[in-house]
Structure 1
């Protein structure tokens, strides 16, 4: 079950959901409008799942930054979110999509107990200027069914994330896990 905007606000007030910073005006009927943070990593060259991804970090200037087609950008949300009670789903939205920006297609699930500034996978269909703090997508909260198992209590590879994370698949490949 997806929470409504008023239910999200009530859960924030009750301490069941953390959105930092929280602005009630960013609530919509079934989601919270999240914003692009102020840093991007531009992935360098060819990517290899068995090796760490090389990136150049770029601070987004107030005047904006032009995303180029054919380049993978890793960004971060402005907001930090968490909930021990609810799972989270992060998505792009129609506004960014109408500009030809694909954001966070592959990993939209935020587990219960994961306090996170989301790492974003960003691609552009055409050259497009983006700005720090611009609305970039929607975050929904989902009521979980069953016994809770907090993400923070697991040995998850991204549990301590507080910014832009590159893929850590190479750790599994090097470690020999299937």
Structure 2
């Protein structure tokens, strides 16, 4: 069951959902609009090996905006630290952003109960597109779980800023 905007407000007040900083005007009928942080992370290599830590560059976005190149992957983060030990979060692009041809997640829209941090967004533009730090780029929704809850304790817990893949931690030397 998805939480309504009024229930999101209530759960934030009860500290069962964390959104920090929280702007009440960003609450929608059943979601919360989050903003993009001030920097992007870009992979250096054209070929990425999941068994090794990838080389990346951190790029600061100027207030005048940053042009994303079409068909190139950029990692960004939310301004907000978000999470909950009580609800499962999902997120998506705001429809206005999607209409610009910007994917803000390629396939990882479900968050884990118990994760708390800035969310890393996988930005993939269909066309060249200027974005701005702090713009409202996506919306997070909260879902009530059914069954016993195991809280997340994974390798991305507490992330701050755009976080590159850590899949290389999943491989063992053999």
* Bucket of the pairwise TM-score, normalised by the shorter protein: over 0.9
Which ranges in structure 2 are unaligned for 5 or more consecutive residues? Answer: none
Q: Report if the CA contact (8 A) 1:42-1:71 is conserved.
A: no
Cα pair 2:92 2:140 within 8 Å, conserved: yes
Structure 2 residue 141 is the aligned partner of structure 1 residue 140:
yes
Counterpart residue number, 2:159? 161
| Structure 1: segments with no counterpart, 5+ residues | none
Once the two structures are superposed, what CA deviation does each residue of 1:81-121 show, in whole Å capped at 9, x if it has no partner? 11111111011121111111111122112211111200111
Find the aligned partners of 2:14 and 2:169 in 1 and give their Cα distance: 39
Task: Count how many residue pairs are aligned between Structure 1 and Structure 2.
Answer: 173
> CA deviation digits over 1:1-49, x for unaligned, max 9?
0000000001111111110011111011110011111110122222222
| TM-score after normalising by structure 1 | 0.91
Q: State the partner residue of 1:12.
A: 12
Distance (Å, rounded) in 1 between the aligned partners of 2:144 and 2:71? 37
Using the alignment, how far apart are the partners of 2:18 and 2:92 within structure 1?
18
Distance 1:56 1:174, change over 3 A: same
Please state if 1:45 is matched with 2:45: yes
Residue 141 (structure 1) shift: 0.4
Q: Quick check: 2:9–2:24 contact (8 Å CA) kept in 1?
A: yes
Asked whether the equivalents of residues 76 and 118 of structure 1 are also in contact (C-alpha less than 8 Å), the reply is: yes
Q: Secondary structure at the match of 1:90?
A: strand
Q: How does 1:1-178 map to 2 (within 5 A)?
A: 1-46=1-46, 47-151=48-152, 154=153, 156-175=154-173
Distance in 1 between residues matched to 2:96 and 2:69, nearest whole Å: 18
Question: Matched residues in 1 for 2:81 and 2:63: separation?
Answer: 21
Q: Using the alignment, how far apart are the partners of 2:85 and 2:169 within structure 1?
A: 28
- Aligned-CA RMSD value: 1.4
TM-score after normalising by structure 2: 0.93
SS at match of 1:119: strand
